[in-house]
Amino acid sequence: MTSIGNLRGCWIIAVVTLLGADFGVTIKRPRSDPNVPFPPACPTSDNLANLCNYSNERPRYQDSFFPASGASHFRRRGHAINRMESWYSSCCGGLVEKQPSEVLCCAKQAWKQALSQFCVEEYSTMTMAYECCQYKGDARWICFDSELPNPDYSPIPGYTAPEMPPELGFTFDPTAC
């Protein structure tokens, strides 16, 4: 009789637990995702002046900008922008002749190389890659150059970018212009 009583007690506890459970509802604490406007626009003759003249007035993303965990995709976006801005500075600041056509060609190469490296980093994780990374060739660049948060590379009034170390790895190829 004792074992039947213990079994009945276990069943009662199990039923009460199941009745009190709230299946299918997960309560998440509100979390503010870091604001990393992405993707950056492809350099054009229309936005080249802003791209070169206001570099220090557009955001840079230091590691301290991101939460300690749970924001790795934002961190990769921020690093891609930092890399791109560093390479744009090389294009605008003397890496190429001061011919606007060569500066633009350099900036476009920097844009493509930075976003290509971003896609490599996206696919090196266990998370879902950024949508545009799934495309190849011109389709990838068209995707990245759509729905842009700052197509003109406009500066942020009153903002001064923090000093960031230069990003290595970019080589301008003037024969590709």
pLDDT of residue 5: 53
Query: Of 63, 79, 85, 82, nearest to 153 (Cα)?
Result: 85
By residue count, the chain amounts to 177
When pLDDT is averaged across residues 90-110 and rounded to a whole number, the result is: 87
- What pLDDT band is residue 8 in, cutting at 50, 70 and 90? low
- What pLDDT band is residue 31 in, cutting at 50, 70 and 90? low
Preceding amide of 39 cis, omega within 30? yes
Nearest-angstrom CA–CA distance, 124 and 26: 29
Query: Of 81, 90, 66, 91, nearest to 148 (Cα)?
Result: 81
pLDDT of residue 11: 44
- What pLDDT band is residue 21 in, cutting at 50, 70 and 90? very low
Against a cut of 0.85, is the pTM above it? Answer: no
Side-chain-side CA neighbours of 164 within 13 Å: the count stands at 25
When pLDDT is averaged across residues 69-79 and rounded to a whole number, the result is: 87
When pLDDT is averaged across residues 137-146 and rounded to a whole number, the result is: 97
Q: 103 burial class (0-12, 13-18, 19+ CB within 10 angstroms)?
A: buried
